Chains A and B, each alone.
Chain A
């Protein structure tokens, strides 16, 4: 039986909740300490496609920092899609995420991606206007407001990504 695997990266600023968002929805193979040692941690996520096939996403959770270093960029090499994560309570993380997207596109070209604006559960602290997000969506980006605590939209983010990864191929 044929298998389909794709390299997917999760990138975003430090402490936006990259690791915790996906932690519950993926196969945790390695401990988080890899993030601080090697700078990357690999998880896998199997997504069932509408046509019955199954896609295995090999998820490279790249240690976040406020500046994406060359080494971390190197881990992006060969990525086929990525999750861009920002923190809804810190608008600057969204800006940084968008800047990061530009940097990635400059280096690796346009890749399927989903922007996750995280910590949607912290309504009181939410600081990003829907209009801003709509404006971004207008550019064709898939944007989801997620919550690592409730798990809101996380599964959806993966299926969106899976669709965009294989949509053209199927």
Chain B
């Protein structure tokens, strides 16, 4: 250590220590911060009072840090603002609603009256919204009394009233009103922040407006628009501006507030009269009743209409559902008109017909129908009718997916039917087994099968074949077999058909019957009769042959006659002998004795000598005429 340093230490040791301490404080952040913190609040306060520069300088950083704080922790700010913002919003909403409802009431009440219409025109001319114009015009109210009350003492600071108002002791009322105001606030506003602002007493409304040291209570008859409150508030503001201090210090001397009542008088000027009549209280006004009636009628009409529309729609729905080939995808009714969207087979019933069936003829329908092919049996059948064109007398029916034809149809159509029907949508098979052939076709077939000889006539009527005329027995005999082979006939009539052989037989028997052969007095044939006998025998042989051919039975009887001369017994025997003689003659000609029966005639009552009675008569008859037809 040098002398100089020693000397310095001796001379300045205290100062050096102080300097070191100051140096330490200024150089280390800890102590410096403490120093600044000590003087900072005072320094800011002083600077703010003396020079606004600090405030200006701080403005931006403070704003930024505030922003930062809000962004980083918004919940804290929300919590802080909650108690303030809630009541403010509520109040604002309540005011808005009050105003809205009042406006609505008024508009409802007046917009339908004759005056309402007049105002509508006037509002349009004045370029003001109708609601506003009605509000201006309709609200009937009158401010009857205004009390200005010094709040602390409850002393009346001013009172004005209309000439018609019935006023109590204004001082007492003011005091009592203050007491009640306090009472209400204490009772219903736990934090004492809210005040009584409106009271409704029958046809009166009391509005209370609050200033810093006073309140203004306005007794209003009728229904004032909310806007009037703003005007009153403005008057109170003017009073406060002019008499604020005086009101604060008001001790009860009216001199202190000289002129205040003139300002209060302005409140009384805010009034709206309706033709000098006071507003009716309670009840429904006539326009409102009319409006309600109109609304009720409208509602009723809507309900009835709705019901009818529903019924109409149901009927239409049902009709569409009941119509084959029509499918609704969307159905709607609007008054008298219906709208339909869906699918329709071109063969489905016409929409007009559907509507008519549903009893909806008068209804207008807007239809958007896309074509499609329906497989509904009735539509399939319609399609078959259209495409297969069955001839008259042929019926088509659908049994499952089989199209069945029945009735009379010719082969060509049947063939066509069997080929085309299965090609139709909805038809898988065709069945023509039930079809009948037409008479003409049947006739053609019969003619081919039977090859009728000339003289035989064929006819088919209603499937019944009639065969008439003459045919040889052989053809006739073959007929049943041929007829059995013929199809499609419901019967055959051969009543008018005769075999030629039969006809000959008939003629022959006719000729033979009654042929008479005369005798001598005894039982010998007259000689000249031999020729006759021979030809007769030949005819008989032919008749028997024809009978056999045609399946007939021919009865040949020989009847012996006598003249009765010579006694009965003799004659009886004679008659028998004569018959037997003729029989023998025939037998001699090749006939069989069994082919004849022998009988005798009655004798005459009296014997008559007459050669014509000596005879035998050949009787030939066809016994069975049914066979062979």
Contact = CB atoms under 8 A, between A and B. Distances in A.
Interface of A: 2-7, 27, 29-30, 34, 38-44, 56, 58, 60, 71, 74-75, 77-80
Contacts of A71: 186
Interface of B: 150, 152-156, 168-169, 171-176, 179-180, 182-183, 186, 251-255
B179 A5 contact: no
Given A27-B169, A43-B172, A4 B253 contact: yes
Chain B interface SS verdict (over half):
helix
Contacts of B174: 58
A42 B176 contact: yes
Contacts of A75: 179, 182
Contacts of A78: 150, 152-155
13 contacts: A2-B254, A5-B252, A7-B154, A29-B168, A29-B169, A38-B180, A40-B176, A41-B176, A43-B172, A56-B171, A56-B252, A58-B175, A80-B252
Contact of B172 (A30, A38, A77): A30
Contacts of A6: 155, 251-252
A21 to B, nearest CB: 18
Nearest to A28: B172
A102 B154 CA distance: 23
B252 A4 contact: yes
Given A30-B176, A38-B180, A58-B171, 17 more contacts: A2-B254, A3-B253, A7-B153, A7-B155, A29-B176, A34-B176, A40-B176, A42-B172, A42-B176, A58-B172, A60-B179, A74-B186, A75-B182, A77-B152, A78-B150, A79-B153, A80-B153
Nearest to B255: A2
Contacts of A80: 153, 251-252
A155 B153 CA distance: 24
Interface centre among B169, B173, B186 (most CB of A within 10 A): B169
A91 B251 CA distance: 35
**Top 9 A-B residue pairs of the complex, sorted by shortest distance between their CB atoms:** A78-B153, A29-B172, A5-B252, A78-B152, A3-B254, A42-B175, A42-B176, A7-B153, A42-B172
Contacts of B173: 29
B186 A2 contact: no
Given A30-B176, A42-B172, A42-B175, A7 B252 contact: yes
Nearest to B151: A78
Contacts of A44: 169, 171-172
Given A4-B252, A29-B172, A58 B155 contact: yes
Interface centre among A5, A71, A74 (most CB of B within 10 A): A5
A157 B251 CA distance: 21
A91 to B, nearest CB: 31
Contacts of B251: 6, 80
Nearest to B179: A40
A140 B410 CA distance: 150
Contacts of B182: 74-75
Contacts of B171: 5, 44, 56, 58
A60 B179 CA distance: 9
Nearest to B150: A78
A78 B149 CA distance: 13
A108 B173 CA distance: 24
Contact of B154 (A30, A38, A56, A58): A58
Contacts of A30: 172, 176
A20 to B, nearest CB: 18
A27 B172 contact: yes
Nearest to B186: A71
Contacts of B154: 7, 58, 60, 78
B589 to A, nearest CB: 166
A134 B351 CA distance: 119
Contacts of A74: 182, 186
A131 to B, nearest CB: 37
A120 B481 CA distance: 161
